[in-house]
Amino acid sequence: MRFLATAAATVAAVAALIMPAHADGPLGAKGSTLTLPLTEALTTLPVAAESRAGYERSAFKHWVDADKDGCNTRNEVLKDEAVVAPEQAAGCKLSGGKWYSAYSNTYVNSASALDLDHLVPLAESWDSGASKWTAQEREAYANDLGDSRSLIAVTAATNRSKADKDPAAWLPPYQPYHCQYLADWIATKLRWQLAVDQAERDTLTQATDSCPDQPIKVTLAR
């Protein structure tokens, strides 16, 4: 095992270093930056039972045009992640272009063949703490353009295979991407101060044991 301290000791040490008097949450104030090795980032996430009670996808208003430039969140991500830029017509209609779907290690030549995946699904975020958020916080989560790990364009087939599963139940079919996927999952939960359940923690601990203990850097979103 690479863990050199208990989860409680790690959380206490991190909190002592980064928590200002005006902190918004256990890890620090909204907008502050936190950098931890992968193993410490994982142990910093609180463990809590999950509940789907009351969840509705409509509780997360998504694909908004936050900056009023005519392109909604989906199209903003598609433009940003394209390996060959698409042409943009009126109404932010995209044509042409090329994208890499990391879940399946495939290239896609049509935006319509892609789904935009919330790396930590909306239902999973609800289970992990978002049920207690305001509507504005849930909208911000569902349209998070502030961290490139939050939303990812992937093939529709892999996104629908994943659905709302966490890593205890689903990992991308392209195995070489697993370490990156798991690190991004942990980073997203850390950014939004979401919990993990015990099965999820156990899976993440075991699955990342052979991954590089890379630094996880996040800007806290709440």
162-218 pLDDT, tens digit each: 999 999 999 999 999 999 999 999 999 999 999 999 999 999 999 999 999 999 999
Phi, psi angle pair for 12, to nearest 5°: -65, -40
Confidence of residue 26 (pLDDT cuts 50, 70, 90): confident
pLDDT for 39 equals 97
Question: Given this model, what pLDDT does residue 19 score?
Answer: 37
The token pair that represents 85 in the structure block: 């830029």
Calpha distance 60→178 (Å, rounded): 27
119-155 per-position pLDDT tens digit = 999 999 999 999 999 999 999 999 999 999 999 999 9
| 122 vs 176: CA distance, rounded Å | 25
Burial 158-170 (b: 16+ CB within 10 A, else e): bbeebebebbbeb
Q: What percent of the chain has pLDDT over 70?
A: 89
* Domain coordinates in residue numbering, the chain: 7-219
pLDDT of residue 11: 35
Alpha carbons 102 and 183: distance in angstroms, whole number: 14
CA 125 to chain centroid: 9
Per DSSP, helices labelled H in 59-177 are: 73-81, 122-127, 135-142, 156-162
pLDDT of residue 24: 62
Nearest Cα residue to 154 out of 182, 141, 173, 127: 173
What is the per-residue pLDDT for 133?
98
pLDDT higher than 60, residue 8: no
